[in-house]
Structure 1
Amino acid sequence: MRTVRSWFRDTTGGLPRAFWYLWTGTLVNRLGSFVLVFLAIYLTRERGFSPSQAGLVLGLWGVGGAVGTTVGGTLTDRWGRRPTLLTAHVGAAAMMLALGFARPLWTVAAGALLLGLFAEAARPAFGAMMIDVVPAKDRLRAFSLNYWAINLGFACAAVLAGLAAQAGYLLLFVVDAATTLVTALIIFTRVRETRTVTATVTVRTGEPGALRTILADRVFLGFVLLNLFAALVFLQHISMLPIAMGDSGLSPATYGSVIALNGVLIVAGQLFVPRLIRGRSRSHVLALASVVMGVGFGLTAFADGAWFYGLTVLIWTVGEMLNSPSNATLIAELSPAALRGRYQGVFSLSWQAAAAVGPVLGGLVREHAGNSALWLGCAVIGGLAAVAHLVSGPARERRATALRAPAAPVAVVPPAAAPAPVPAAS
């Protein structure tokens, strides 16, 4: 018992109160994250769209998300983390309800586009706020705990959504919107603004120089590109996996139960991952994660029953568990403080680009080359990404070490180049 208490204290102790409010908001939001899990099934079975049309709608969600992360990253640095999060969550709740009532293809597509914009605009602000409030030495634990909350909510949502869908798909949209508003309320009442006004580099907010700084950071952009390929593989579990399982004669409820294994395994094991990977080379961990995810998705080509699909989910989930905390801590260390929101936005852009391209590309490959080609192609991408992580890892660590080096802080100045520091939002 003492060992368990000691482990629990080492895992959760010493983290700031603001982190736990953010963690609670994450858990509540994910408990109601019904829509994206079942959107492909909803579009093909309830609305009667073809797999290609469903892929297009999911792709437009990703396009909206790409715009949202870009705008959200800029607003996070210029306007503040808190107002950006509030605006994004309230807008996402409104668009969630609008999408639930949309019927023609063009209105569903427009609703998905706007929902992606608002929902993903919150991602850079949330990531920047997490980095702001958690000291560097505790970030591996903090990101693992937050990821644990995401998947605890996801595991419950996947099962509940399968049951709720039997009562009517509109209920999924209503509950999702409600939990998003609750998250906004938690942030509004409990979390203060965390944006600071000093940084280790001189940045004129609002000028093109900020974007040029990011575009010139080849080490960071290489990392973003590798995450894009990983995301292209990973997001097939939302777009093409439910369709493949449907073709195997499995019901939406079965898909919900199978995909819930992803969250269950993460909930059971994610809190042990920080101790497992602590002190190990991040490039080696990320390479191993890429291989394991590739194998898991590749085996889907041979799945023909619920148990086999469940096995593939468990395999690629292990890769996801290794990938997530290493990814999160590395992106935090590669982000200069004055550009933290924008760097988070550009990194999130890789997920949104994958969300935009992945469903369309997956649908086209599946229709023209077959189901096996899609999943075996995922395995090949995983292997290539693993090699790339091993090659590029040393440069990333040198870059992270250089950014950790102490430097004299300077003020972030507004577009008019006034000499006084910009006051933090309150």
Structure 2
Amino acid sequence: MRGLSGTYWAIWTGLLINRLGGFAIIFLAIYLKDIRGLTTAATGLVIGLHGAGGALGVLAGGVLADRWGRRKTMLLAYSTASVLMMAVGLSSTPVAIGVTATLLGVATQLGGPASVAAITDVVPEPQRLPAFNLLYWAFFGGAAIAALLVGVLAEVSYLLLFGLDAAATLIAVLIIAFRVPETLVRHPTASGGQGLGRALRDRPYLVFVGLTFLMAMVFAQSTTMLPLAMKGDGLSTGQYGLVMALSAGMVVAGQLFVPKLIGRARKARVLALALLLVAVGYGLTALVGSLAGYAITVVIWTVGQMLAAPPNAAIIAELSPERLRGQYQGVFNLSFAASAFAAPALGGLSLQTLGDWHWVICLGLGLLAAAGHLLSGPTRERRVAELRELVDA
């Protein structure tokens, strides 16, 4: 933690507070199905629309971060998301829910590339691995507390969940407004088209983004299909909150030790091991039906997520040219936004029609991503070395 700037800690604090209030998204699937009466497939479609909006948001956010500025983009994203969060909670018809959920997806993802680009701007390369590890810790630290509280708050009012989520996002707006300066160093050649075009022609980078998409497809099951599967096995909303709190609690307790644990291991091998654990954890979901069984699977895939987070963030920072960090980050975040659409949209149909075989498909996706990292790792490392030589020159 030593030497990290005040700007970094302001962005970190804003993320933590935003996650502390992240009640509504955690239980969005259950809210849509139980309160609004949507079918499993329709619920998956609405959550998928939220993800589709996110796909637009990350691309727009990357261009804005490099051309308009990191700080302005984050302020726009947080303030708009706060308003749209309440709009989703107040919408009652399927069409209105779908529209507001899509717009909320745009707003919530708009600031992601800007925040990561700003951190990369102010954190020297030797400190980026622990810096991103701390960011991941804050992300799940807030989620741990939110997951513990959400079961109780949902019994009072689902609208209260949306209100608290919106309030936390407004607090993040104030932190960014008063504590985060602009970190963008402007380059006249860093146009939006050139940045996105270069990223989309960068083969080692695109392979990494594709593998991240497979990983994100599996990760997304925890907040989309897992609550529905547990509900189908007769478990309650509160019990789902417990297993999610277990996952987040593991991150809070152990994530800070991960950089020392992986040490000098090659990032590709760490990611392959992480994806193997994620694949096995989600695959075993097909065999369980009790709270204890679900808890065991959650422990397995959470360890995999913990191992994957630091090298994943560090690699994308290494592969991004300095003048195009926002747009490279936007294309990278597109893998998560696209999975946020594809995972629930396809997952709802898959779980409804295939049952437990849905989790076998998740096993296959995770194993495919693990093998991909082992095969593509050497090429990626050569590209990072080339970029470092250019910077030195």
Q: TM-score, normalised by structure 2?
A: 0.98
Instruction: Report what 1:194 is aligned to.
Output: 183
Partner of 1:405: 389
Contact 1:89-1:180 within 8 A present in 2 as well: yes
Residue equivalent to 1:14: 3
Mapped partners of 1:146, 1:165: distance in 2: 27
Shift of 1:211: 2.2
How many Å separate the matches in 2 of 1:335 and 1:319?
25
Distance in 2 between residues matched to 1:136 and 1:281, nearest whole Å: 16
* 2:375 alignment partner, one of 370, 376, 391: 391
**What is the DSSP-based 3-state SS (H/G/I as helix, E as strand, rest coil) of the residue aligned with 1:239?**
coil
Q: Secondary structure at the match of 2:223?
A: helix
Counterparts of 1:298 and 1:203, CA distance in 2: 47
Please report how far the alpha carbon of residue 197 of structure 1 lies from its aligned counterpart in structure 2 after TM superposition: 2.5
Is the 8 Å Cα contact of residues 55 and 363 (structure 1) preserved in structure 2?
A: yes
Give 1:278 shift: 2.1
Please say if 1:299 is aligned against 2:284: yes
**In 2, Cα distance between the equivalents of 1:405 and 1:176?**
45
Rate the CA distance shift 1:407–1:153 in 2: closer, same or farther, 3 A: closer
**2:92 is matched with which residue: 90, 93, 103?**
103
Cα shift at 1:22 = 1.2
8 Å CA contact 2:190–2:324 kept in 1: the answer is no
- The 3-state SS of whatever aligns with 2:112 is helix
Question: 1-side partners of 2:392 and 2:120: how far apart?
Answer: 20
> Cα deviation per residue 1:312-339 (whole Å; 9 max; x = unaligned)?
1111000000101000000000000111
Q: How does 1:24-39 map to 2 (within 5 A)?
A: 24-39=13-28
Partner of 1:134: 123
Matched, 1:209 2:198: no
Q: Is the 8 A contact 1:203 1:210 kept in 2?
A: no
- 1:407 CA drift (Å): 4.0
1:112 maps to 2:96: no
TM-score, normalised with respect to structure 1: 0.91
Corresponding pairs, count: 393
Q: Work out which of the two has the higher radius of gyration on C-alpha atoms and give 1 or 2.
A: 1
Distance across 1 between alignment mates of 2:261 and 2:274: 13
2: CA distance, partners of 1:43 / 1:285: 37
> Which of 307, 325, 350 is equivalent to 2:335?
350
- Cα distance in structure 2, aligned partners of 1:233 and 1:403: 31
Partner of 2:204: 219
2:133 maps to which residue?
Answer: 144
Give the equivalent residue in structure 1 for 2:354.
369
- What does residue 325 of structure 2 align with? 340
The answer for the alignment partner of 1:380 in structure 2 is: 364
What CA distance in whole angstroms lies between the structure 2 residues aligned with 1:268 and 1:303? 26
Distance 2:12 2:216 in 1: 23
Pairs within 5 Å for 1:156-305: 156-198=145-187, 203-206=189-192, 208-305=193-290
For residues 63 and 390 of structure 2, the distance between their equivalents in structure 1, rounded to whole angstroms, comes to: 25
Aligned 8 A contact 1:124 1:348 in 2: yes
* Residue identity (%): 48
Contact 2:281–2:297 at 8 Å: present in 1 too?
yes
- Aligned equivalents of 1:154 and 1:39: distance in 2? 14
Contact in 2 for aligned 1:61/1:355 (Cα 8 Å): yes
- Cα separation, 2, equivalents of 1:241 and 1:368: 15
Q: State yes or no: 1:77 paired with 2:47.
A: no
2:51 to 62, 73, 77: 62
Give the distance between the partners of 1:406 and 1:234, measured in 2 at CA.
35
How far off its partner does 1:406 sit? 4.4
Deviation at 1:214, TM superposition (A): 1.1
Q: Determine the C-alpha separation between the residues in 2 that align with 1:264 and 1:335.
A: 32
**Structure 1 spans left out of the alignment, 5+ residues:** 1-11, 410-426
Could you list the per-position Cα deviations for residues 197-242 of structure 1 after superposition, in whole angstroms to 9, with x for gaps in the alignment? Answer: 25xxx83514x33222111100000000000011111101111100
- Structure 2: give runs of 5+ residues left out of the alignment: none
Helix, strand or coil: the match of 1:342?
A: helix
Matched with 2:81 is: 92
2:304 and 2:318 mapped to 1: Cα distance? 22
Offset of residue 267 of structure 1? 0.4
Q: Distance in 1 between matches of 2:268 and 2:83?
A: 41
- Report the equivalent of 1:8: none
1:279-325 CA distance string (max 9 Å, x none): 11101000001100000000111111111111111110000001010
Structure having the larger proportion of residues in helix: 2
Per-residue Cα deviation, 1:391-424 (whole angstroms, up to 9, x for no partner) = 0001111111111224489xxxxxxxxxxxxxxx
The 8 Å contact of residues 296 and 312 in structure 1, kept in 2 or not, is answered as: yes
